[in-house]
Structure 1
Amino acid sequence: MLRAATAAVGVAAVGAIGGGTAFAAGTASPRRSFSSVGTPLNTFHDASGRVTVSVFSHYGNPPQSHWTDKTTLVGDGEMIAIGGGATATDGNPGALLTASYPTDDLSGWTVGSKEHLQGHPHTLASYVIGLKIAGLSRAQLLRSVYVSRADSGTAPHPEAEAGIPSSNDYVLVGGGFRVDWHGAGNLATASFPSTEFSWKARSKDHGQSDPANIRAYAIALRRDLPVGRVLSSVTRADSGQTAHPAAVASVTPGYALTGGGGDVHWRGAGNLLWRLEPATSQTPSFAAASKDHLWSDPSSITAYALGIRVV
């Protein structure tokens, strides 16, 4: 049974999982935080012209074995963070994602990744999607957003699902996850809109036992705003079955990108997320990719893109 907690952003901050110390296989790895203002990559608008979103990025260097709590801040003071993602590496052996979630105050997006069982220091590209709506101040927009969260409890293959408070009053615009791993590692396999009203996240230990908690985040926006009514859209794209599956979901025309995710359909040893990436070009889309790691397990993946428009 899911253990859930919710909070309206404008009323009470939504906290992340508590700190503590994370450990790699056999080596202590203290939790370290990084925060940087993102570089703008692109800007998109909805059909009304009222909704503006921009994707900001930051590339973490030099390479590290583990990236924990790496936050990219929105590079526009009028925007709030509404979505984001990260790209590690599918090289040999590769590095996998452990976190992709909003900051408490929606000023940025926090991500994490790690090598697993074999060394692979890597750079980590992190992304945040900023949102502003003409006719609303940043404070008004912030008060119109609701972030809910749900914890799985500790398990080898944890799963959690967070829902929005009311389908009549809110629309789902994005979501994320954070794995609270402490031993060899527990790695993401899914972060996606499971319904129009909820966000699901999954992870697994891999090759070495490390039960962990996963926290799912669902981000919702009020359906009725002073400037108009918000419509939402969810699109998906499916890959074929392969060792390193990848898919890109395009946003519905007329809608502005607000978030995205991926769901790996693995059945054997496991196939793990290494990329959850909002559009880096002028095409509004969201990319998801995964890989088997050390043990063969060809799988498929579904990528999701979420968008909104005001009417």
Structure 2
Amino acid sequence: MLKAASAAAGLAAAGALAGAGTAGAAQRTAWRGAAVRPVERTGRQVAGFRDASGRVTVSVFSYHGSPAQQHWIDQTVRVGDGDMIAVGGGATAVEGPNGALLTASYPNDDLSGWTVSSKDHLDPQPHELVAYVIGLKIAGMTRDQLLRSVHVSRSDSGTAPHPEAEAGIPSSRDYALVGGGFKVNWYGAGNLATASFPATDYSWKARSKDHVVSDPASIRSFAISLRRDLPVGRVSSVIVHADSGQAQHPAAVATLPPGYALTGGGAEVHYRGAGNLLWRLEPSTTWTPAFTAASKDHHIADPATLTAYALGIRLT
């Protein structure tokens, strides 16, 4: 009964938007143009980790976007340590009352920061987007040396209501997957993230979907990898995951084993109906190397499960 009622409400919302015709589309386009312009801010350190060797140092930096906006477009948080490079990150929008969802979480071009985007959908939801970046440095290596040891692969989907893309690393023998991200290229009502996760030990997959109102879009997937053989030692990597129970708003936390430093994380939502959408991809803000993910149904009830992932490295 709840699902039927929620579906009716969702269809009514779709009808209202469709009835607005060209004027409604123009309003949505105008609002997207009025979203906060892209900015870069240096983050504040909220967590830090070292691997078992003591040579790998990871810090999590965050920036709290304010004042509240309905849409945040390409907001970049930079690492707060000039010796570090960005290898991971995430963002937290808002769960309610209406909710705002994620549309981007990916590395910037020079790996000095992490770029994120979010939006409300159908119902207004001003929110303060929190952006996170995971910074990495390794004792005995300069930033330039570390930068030359990192490879960022990109893969683009075609335009579709539910686009999907998967980026691979150069070589599973020579490189270790340490993180990844996504960017949805939407232009109308919105196309929202449902997955950004390590599909294998050597590839990163991203998915998104339009919701209630049609808006075909493309998505770009990013895979970040680090050379296994470094001048100061060999990189050992690990990928762990944790599953939620089934819920309308599922959440899960993936925690690394002792001795590994957090480098990245992601999530995959397993929905079966209208859709369940990511609103939280958050690296640890405590001293435990972990990654938290959460999603929600929106307008139409669709309980789902979610898998959260955490990636880490140590030197041997």
Give runs of aligned pairs for residues 1-311 of structure 1, distance below 5 A. 25=28, 27-30=30-33, 32-311=37-316
Q: TM-score normalised to the size of structure 2?
A: 0.90
Identify, as 1 or 2, the structure richer in helix: 2
1:29 partner SS: helix
| Residues 243 and 308 in structure 2, CA contact (< 8 A), matched pair in contact too | yes
List structure 1 segments (4+ residues) > 6 angstroms apart after TM superposition.
none
* RMSD (Å), alpha carbons: 1.2
| Residues 43 and 54 in structure 1, CA contact (< 8 A), matched pair in contact too | yes
* Unpaired segments ≥5 residues, structure 2: 1-24
2:300 partner SS: coil
| Residues 271 and 291 in structure 1, CA contact (< 8 A), matched pair in contact too | yes
Q: Which amino acid in structure 1 is aligned with residue 32 of structure 2?
A: S
| Residues 29 and 187 in structure 2, CA contact (< 8 A), matched pair in contact too | no
CA distance in 2, matches of 1:142, 1:56: 19
| Residues 25 and 117 in structure 1, CA contact (< 8 A), matched pair in contact too | no
Deviations 1:216-237 (A, max 9, x none): 0000000100001001000000
Q: Which amino acid in structure 2 is aligned with residue 293 of structure 1?
A: H
Q: Which amino acid in structure 2 is aligned with residue 63 of structure 1?
A: A
Task: Using the TM superposition, give the Cα deviation of residue 23 of structure 1 relative to its aligned residue in structure 2, in angstroms.
Answer: 7.9
Task: Using the TM superposition, give the Cα deviation of residue 168 of structure 1 relative to its aligned residue in structure 2, in angstroms.
Answer: 1.1
Alignment size in residue pairs: 290
CA distance in 1, matches of 2:137, 2:216: 39
CA distance in 2, matches of 1:141, 1:63: 36
Deviations 1:140-187 (A, max 9, x none): 000000000000110000000000000111000000000000000000
Task: Using the TM superposition, give the Cα deviation of residue 24 of structure 1 relative to its aligned residue in structure 2, in angstroms.
Answer: 7.0
Structure with max Cα Rg: 2
Q: TM-score normalised to the size of structure 1?
A: 0.92
Task: Using the TM superposition, give the Cα deviation of residue 69 of structure 1 relative to its aligned residue in structure 2, in angstroms.
Answer: 0.4
Deviations 1:249-276 (A, max 9, x none): 0012111000000000001010000000
Q: Which amino acid in structure 2 is aligned with residue 216 of structure 1?
A: S
Task: Using the TM superposition, give the Cα deviation of residue 34 of structure 1 relative to its aligned residue in structure 2, in angstroms.
Answer: 1.4
Task: Using the TM superposition, give the Cα deviation of residue 25 of structure 1 relative to its aligned residue in structure 2, in angstroms.
Answer: 3.4
- % identity of equivalent residues: 69
Task: Using the TM superposition, give the Cα deviation of residue 77 of structure 1 relative to its aligned residue in structure 2, in angstroms.
Answer: 0.5
| Residues 23 and 182 in structure 1, CA contact (< 8 A), matched pair in contact too | no
Give 2:20's aligned residue. none
Give 1:10's aligned residue. none
1:41 partner SS: strand
Q: Which amino acid in structure 2 is aligned with residue 246 of structure 1?
A: A
Q: Which amino acid in structure 2 is aligned with residue 108 of structure 1?
A: G
Task: Using the TM superposition, give the Cα deviation of residue 27 of structure 1 relative to its aligned residue in structure 2, in angstroms.
Answer: 3.8
